[in-house]
Amino acid sequence: MDHSLILITTIATGFGLALIFGFIAERLKTPALVGYLLAGIVMGPAIPGVTADASIATELAEIGVMLLMFGVGLHFSLADLLAVKRIALPGAVVQMTVATLLGMLLASWWGWELGAGLVLGLSLSCASTVVLLRALESRGFLETMNGRIAVGWLIVEDLVTVLILVLLPSLAGLLGGSGALIDDHAPLWQTILLTLLQVAIFIALMLVVGRRLLPWVLWQVAQTGSRELFTLAVVAFAICIAYGAATFFHVSFALGAFFAGMVMRESPFSHRAAEESLPLRDAFAVLFFVSVGMLFDPGILIDKPFHVLGVVAIIVVGKSIAALLLVLIFRYPLNTALTVAASLGQIGEFSFILAGLGLSLGLLPVEGFSLVLAGALFSIAFNPIAFAAIAPVSRWVSRHSRLARKLATRDDPYAELPMSTERRYLEGQVVLVGYGRVGMRIANTLSEQDIPYIVIDQNRERVQDLRNRNLPAVTGDAAESVVLVQAHISDAAMLVIAVPDPLNVRQMVKTAQTLNPEIEIVLRTNNEDEFALLQQENLGTIFYGKEELAKGMMRHVLQRFDRK
């Protein structure tokens, strides 16, 4: 093959095969990411001219990593993390520790060195942002409490993994690495100190200078009115900052791109930046997964099937059980525990980045990289099945186990109203389900008008904060009668469901009307089709977000012309 065409050949072959296999994967109700990895697996041996120059695919993959991490930074929300910090922070750290230890034990059993086992365990411990977000969005879970806990948990995992990416090269020599990135001459403490100092300087520059400069430049570019120039500015920031971070501060492309996205989120144009860069991010993300697939050796499925089985068991079973138990320990409902467990029972892009770094540092054998990729393929393919099983498993366990029914409320002080609750909150009150952005505004208005209300929220941290402010609140799933009974629904005047939960809203209404046939129901939805269905079922007064926004704007317009 003409080497002058190797880049075009790589891109054309990668995109073409990714399209074919991605389409097949989607039709089989499997994430397209599985198809992209399979495309790379096929592309490796099938296109000898491409594999002859693997550096091209590697550099394209690096661009994919930059844009992937830039997207993670753009969607990183400190507010989302703080809302669930009491469960997400300890939960993610403990779950990653358990998965890492399981990986190290398995590697030790195989006779691997400590460094190889550590990299393998860390690679198996972090779930895929891409897979999780798409799974939650497709099922309408993203805006639910369960979805927020899963996303917050993943944010912590991402931050821990970024820290590992920074420190691993400094520790590689101690762990027995032999890669070209290792400096054997400098003392370990000096290398770690220098690395942390460089990272600190880079982060300080991004937070102090970048936080002001990037939004200002985006504003100047936006004023030109050129869409393509705005898109170019966004992509240029992502790649140039990542390149500068690696060149001048010796930190990874991934970390540089992550902070570029995180700083750009501060701009009022962050949503537009995310939208404009999305096609290019998706395109290079595809090439990243294809290039990862090219490094996979399918022969490992035949040569070491039990190794593959052990890796998959850690990801799908070990991580999921650890997450399930941790969520239950924090007194969250079984449904929340199952959702988080299903969300984290897979691995993806960060695992590939970690395994690739371990490979380049001489810590992880080539066989280890193939095992990580095999684990990703099987766990991602299984993930839709795990999500589909949440509802039937939850119903079955709750029906057959008294322990499961009481698990969420047993010995939980926030599952019951305090005995000292004033009588005015127990008769003729509003029962408000959900204390998110909408629920909080409703609660503030009720307080201003001196209308008594009781909050029901699945987030124990919110309930705890409300109790600390002497506001009546209980934690639990409002679809369950025991939770509504605690909110004294039988004597309430109104039930306001301020969470967009299409899966459980009907059960909430049915349970409330059973306990109080005269109660008035008010609920919300963000989906037009759901709005039409709820209206047909006559469940109560329904508010649809976009319609209410249009009504509010029209009232303002009409008032303006009436004044004339």
Q: Residue 541's domain is classified under what CATH number?
A: 3.40.50.720
What average pLDDT is seen over the chain?
81
pLDDT exceeds cutoff 80 at 340 = yes
Does any domain span residue 47? yes
**Do 338 and 211 share a domain, yes or no?**
yes
Count of residues for the chain?
Answer: 564
The answer to whether residue 356 sits within a structural domain is yes
The strands making up 473-475's β-sheet, listed across from edge to edge, are: 473-475, 453-457, 430-433, 494-497, 520-525, 541-544
For the whole prediction, is pTM greater than 0.75?
no
| Local structure of residue 206 (DSSP, 8 states) | I
Inside any domain, residue 409: no
Higher pLDDT pick, 496 / 72: 496
pLDDT at 180 over 80: no
Sequence-distant (6+) residues with CB within 8 A of 311 are: 103, 106, 120, 124, 371, 372, 374, 375
> Which domain-ending residue is among 378, 395, 412?
395
The reply to whether 52 and 122 lie within a common domain is yes
Q: Is residue 181 part of a domain?
A: yes
Q: Which residue has the higher pLDDT, 520 or 178?
A: 520
* 372 in the same domain as 326: yes
d(CA 238, CA 234): 6
480: left (phi over 0), alpha (psi -120 to 50) or beta: beta
Beta bridge partners of 474: 456
**502 versus 461: which is more confidently predicted?**
461
pLDDT at 4 over 60: no
pLDDT tens string 376-414: 888 888 888 888 888 788 778 777 777 666 665 555 677
* pLDDT at residue 52, rounded to an integer: 43
Q: Is residue 407 part of a domain?
A: no
Write out 151-200 in H/E/C secondary structure: HHHHHHHHHHHHHHHHHHHHHCCCCCCCCCCCCCCCCHHHHHHHHHHHHH
Domain that holds residue 453: 420-563
The more confidently predicted of residues 416 and 124 is 124
Query: Same domain for 373 and 451?
Result: no
Dist CA 477 CA 8 (whole Å): 54
Residues 169 and 255 in one domain: yes
Choosing from 395, 412, 436, the residue where a domain stops is 395
* Higher-confidence position of 301 and 215: 301
pLDDT score of 51: 46
> Is residue 402 assigned to a domain?
no
Q: Would residue 137 count as lying in a domain?
A: yes
**Same-domain status, 228 and 373:** yes
What type of residue is 264?
Answer: M
Question: Who wins on pLDDT, 226 or 401?
Answer: 226
Identify which of 49-58, 176-185, 538-547 has the greatest average pLDDT. Answer: 538-547
What average pLDDT does range 492-514 have in this prediction?
85
Note the pLDDT tens digit of each residue in 33-84: 888 888 888 886 555 554 444 566 667 767 777 777 777 777 666 666 677 7
Query: 109 falls in which pLDDT band (50, 70, 90)?
Result: very high
* Domain count along the chain: 2
Q: How many angstroms separate the CA atoms of 121 and 502, rounded?
A: 38
Work out the pLDDT band at 97, boundaries 50, 70, 90.
very high
Stretch 206-216: mean pLDDT = 80
Structure confidence at residue 496 (pLDDT): 92
Please say if the pLDDT value at position 134 is more than 50.
Answer: yes
**Statement to judge: residues 387 and 432 lie in one domain:** no
